[in-house]
């Protein structure tokens, strides 16, 4: 099970438990637009995405105003601070089903259809709000985590009425409900090896989005992402593959546009190039996947090649909820090729020699993947 799913479930359990114990007057009545921060410190980001810029942070217990939600992320404001936070770190104060006797969605007319589900499906988003009615203006009943099995009871305007295994009912956006088989392994085109394969390379950040700035040499992540991507493209072409870059200049590209390049070109693999940051003195490379069926085999091959071929240590592979992976139907990974916040890593990775070696290691990982 994915760590974030476990976290989401834990927080859901905590949230429902906490709400059940609250005296009614402490739960703000009415619009369902205020929430409390559950995490010790919660990052606020510029976009509903774990990869977007951090614009601030909120302390545990801070009450925020909720104005929107997308992909399990919630748009909040607190004083002058505005941005997106991961939904499962919030206790949605008002309008939650837990402080009401059962919601209208599970009573009355809906009882007549409760027995006959239209089909079975599961949650395809990392976390998904279940609401009292078909629309974002309806109160949140519950937060469902990735992979939660659902019975489909009804459909309306792109929304789906569902029932969970523990008999909760409500409405969720139809975009994030699907057959688990929808996110399945993409058959590899052509024969074995890299020859004739289409690889989309995505140099992270660009334009006014600088990414990480190195702690010692002020190395700009967006710049070395692009130079590393260029080495990778060059070496892939030499190996007979077609290499397509999502950006070739210092320009800001929306995350979804990067995904679109991959989907439109029916990429055999999508590799997003980044360098990492951490407040701790950690070092090394890390390869992220989102889907276990679609992305994990690729992540495994690339992480193992980085480990074999680079002097920098490999931290292996990990689940990562990044937009460019999550929204991508092609096999995708995001590689972090060292920590710019670690002076030793930074001194090494800013050099062309390291970037060429890292590119060669990714080529070898891709080749192993296509030869499996
Ligand atoms: Zn980055």
Residue 243: per-residue pLDDT: 94
Residue 341: per-residue pLDDT: 94
Whether residue 14 is contained in a domain is answered as: no
Q: Mark whether 147 and 75 lie in a shared domain.
A: no
Last residue of a domain, one of 133, 150, 185: 185
Q: How far apart are CA 280 and CA 54, in angstroms?
A: 17
Centre of ligand 1 from the C-alpha of residue 221, in Å = 7
Whether residue 137 is contained in a domain is answered as: yes
Centre of ligand 1 from the C-alpha of residue 288, in Å = 12
Centre of ligand 1 from the C-alpha of residue 31, in Å = 37
Centre of ligand 1 from the C-alpha of residue 202, in Å = 11
Q: How far apart are CA 126 and CA 31, in angstroms?
A: 25
Centre of ligand 1 from the C-alpha of residue 88, in Å = 23
Whether residue 20 is contained in a domain is answered as: no
The DSSP string of 156-213 is: ETTEEEEEETTS-EEEEEGGGEE-GGGS-PPPPPSSSSSTT-EEEEEE--BTTB---B
Query: According to DSSP H, which parts of 187-280 are helical?
Result: 221-238, 255-264
Alpha-carbon distances of 288 from 183, 213, 336, rounded to whole Å: 17, 21, 8
Q: Mark whether 221 and 361 lie in a shared domain.
A: yes
Q: Mark whether 223 and 322 lie in a shared domain.
A: yes
Overall average pLDDT of the 168-183 stretch: 72
The answer for residues whose C-beta is within 8 angstroms of residue 236's C-beta and 6 or more apart is: 194, 199, 201, 242, 243, 363, 366
Q: Mark whether 203 and 115 lie in a shared domain.
A: no
Torsion angle defined by CA atoms of residues 40, 44, 45 and 51, in that order, rounded to the nearest 10 degrees = 0
Q: Mark whether 359 and 243 lie in a shared domain.
A: yes
Into how many domains does the chain fold?
A: 3
Centre of ligand 1 from the C-alpha of residue 212, in Å = 6
Question: What are the residues facing 162 on neighbouring strands?
Answer: 152, 170
Pick 219 or 29 by higher pLDDT.
219
Centre of ligand 1 from the C-alpha of residue 323, in Å = 12
pLDDT of residue 356 exceeding 60, the answer is yes
Centre of ligand 1 from the C-alpha of residue 312, in Å = 18
Whether residue 231 is contained in a domain is answered as: yes
Of 102-116, 180-194, 327-341, minimum mean pLDDT range: 102-116
Centre of ligand 1 from the C-alpha of residue 337, in Å = 10
pLDDT of residue 171 exceeding 50, the answer is yes
Nearest to 245 by CA among 370, 365, 359, 368: 359
Instruction: Out of 31-45, 112-126, 280-294, 331-345, give the one with best mean pLDDT.
Output: 331-345
Q: How far apart are CA 76 and CA 57, in angstroms?
A: 11
Instruction: State the pairing for strand pair 149-156/159-164.
Output: antiparallel
Spatial contact of 218 and 345, defined as CB atoms under 8 Å apart: no
Q: Residue 79 CA to chain centroid, in angstroms?
A: 27
pLDDT of residue 308 exceeding 80, the answer is yes
Centre of ligand 1 from the C-alpha of residue 169, in Å = 39
Q: Mark whether 204 and 346 lie in a shared domain.
A: yes
Whether residue 298 is contained in a domain is answered as: yes
Centre of ligand 1 from the C-alpha of residue 86, in Å = 18
Range of the domain at 211: 198-371
Q: Which residue's entry shows tokens 């409500």? A: 170
- Its pTM stands at 0.55
Q: How confident is the model at residue 22 (pLDDT cuts 50, 70, 90)?
A: very low
Centre of ligand 1 from the C-alpha of residue 320, in Å = 13
Last residue of a domain, one of 163, 185, 207: 185
Q: Mark whether 203 and 317 lie in a shared domain.
A: yes
Q: How far apart are CA 254 and CA 313, in angstroms?
A: 31
Q: Mark whether 180 and 211 lie in a shared domain.
A: no
Whether residue 240 is contained in a domain is answered as: yes
* pLDDT single digits (tens) 128-160: 888 999 988 888 888 888 778 888 888 888 888
Q: Which DSSP symbol is given to 147?
A: T
Q: How confident is the model at residue 252 (pLDDT cuts 50, 70, 90)?
A: very high
Centre of ligand 1 from the C-alpha of residue 349, in Å = 14
pLDDT of residue 88 exceeding 70, the answer is no
Residue 145: per-residue pLDDT: 80
Centre of ligand 1 from the C-alpha of residue 225, in Å = 8
Overall average pLDDT of the 64-78 stretch: 80
Spatial contact of 174 and 218, defined as CB atoms under 8 Å apart: no
Question: What are the residues facing 178 on neighbouring strands?
Answer: 122
Centre of ligand 1 from the C-alpha of residue 276, in Å = 6
Q: Mark whether 272 and 335 lie in a shared domain.
A: yes
Overall average pLDDT of the 355-365 stretch: 98
Q: Mark whether 115 and 260 lie in a shared domain.
A: no
Centre of ligand 1 from the C-alpha of residue 205, in Å = 6
* pLDDT single digits (tens) 181-230: 334 445 566 678 999 999 999 999 999 999 999 999 999 999 999 999 99
Q: How far apart are CA 323 and CA 253, in angstroms?
A: 13
Residue 102: per-residue pLDDT: 33
Spatial contact of 96 and 141, defined as CB atoms under 8 Å apart: yes
Centre of ligand 1 from the C-alpha of residue 231, in Å = 18
Domain of 62: which CATH number? 2.30.30.40
Residue 165: per-residue pLDDT: 83
Last residue of a domain, one of 48, 67, 97: 97
Q: Residue 253 CA to chain centroid, in angstroms?
A: 17
Q: Mark whether 168 and 301 lie in a shared domain.
A: no
| Strand order from edge to edge, sheet including 140-145 | 140-145, 127-131, 169-173, 159-164, 149-156, 119-123, 177-178
Neighbours of 228 (CB within 10 A): 26
Domain of 254: which CATH number? 3.40.630.40
Q: Mark whether 233 and 313 lie in a shared domain.
A: yes
């Amino acid at each position: 099970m994915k760590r974030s799913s476990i976290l989401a479930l834990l927080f859901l359990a905590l949230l429902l438990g906490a709400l059940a114990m609250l005296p009614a007057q402490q739960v703000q009545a009415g619009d369902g637009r205020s929430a409390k921060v559950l995490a010790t410190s919660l990052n606020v980001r510029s976009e509903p995405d774990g990869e977007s810029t951090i614009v601030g942070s909120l302390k545990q217990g801070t009450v925020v105003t909720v104005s929107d939600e997308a992909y399990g992320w919630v748009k909040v404001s607190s004083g002058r601070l505005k941005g997106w936070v991961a939904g499962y770190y919030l206790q949605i104060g008002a309008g939650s089903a837990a402080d009401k006797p059962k919601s209208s969605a599970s009573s009355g007319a809906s009882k007549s259809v409760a027995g006959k589900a239209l089909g079975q499906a599961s949650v395809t988003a990392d976390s998904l709000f279940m609401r009292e009615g078909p629309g974002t203006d309806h109160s949140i009943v519950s937060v469902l985590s990735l992979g939660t099995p659902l019975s489909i009871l009804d459909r309306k305007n792109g929304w789906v009425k569902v029932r969970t295994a523990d008999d909760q009912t409500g409405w969720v956006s139809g975009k994030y409900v699907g057959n688990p088989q929808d996110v399945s392994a993409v058959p590899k085109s052509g024969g074995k090896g890299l020859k004739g394969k289409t690889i989309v390379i995505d140099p992270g950040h660009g334009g006014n989005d600088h990414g990480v700035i190195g702690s010692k040499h002020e190395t700009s992540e967006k710049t070395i992402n692009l130079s590393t991507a260029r080495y990778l493209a060059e070496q892939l072409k030499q190996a007979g593959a077609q290499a397509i870059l999502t950006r070739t200049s210092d320009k800001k590209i929306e995350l979804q546009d990067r995904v679109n390049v991959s989907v439109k070109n029916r990429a055999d693999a999508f590799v997003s190039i980044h360098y990492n940051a951490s407040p701790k003195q950690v070092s090394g490379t890390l390869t992220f996947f989102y889907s276990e069926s679609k992305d994990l085999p690729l992540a495994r091959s690339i992480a193992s090649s980085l480990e074999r071929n680079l002097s920098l240590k490999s931290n292996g592979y990990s689940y990562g909820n990044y937009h460019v992976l999550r929204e991508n139907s092609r096999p995708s990974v995001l590689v972090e090729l060292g920590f710019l916040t670690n002076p030793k890593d930074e001194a090494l990775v800013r050099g062309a020699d390291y970037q060429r070696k890292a590119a060669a290691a990714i080529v070898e990982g891709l080749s192993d993947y296509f030869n499996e």
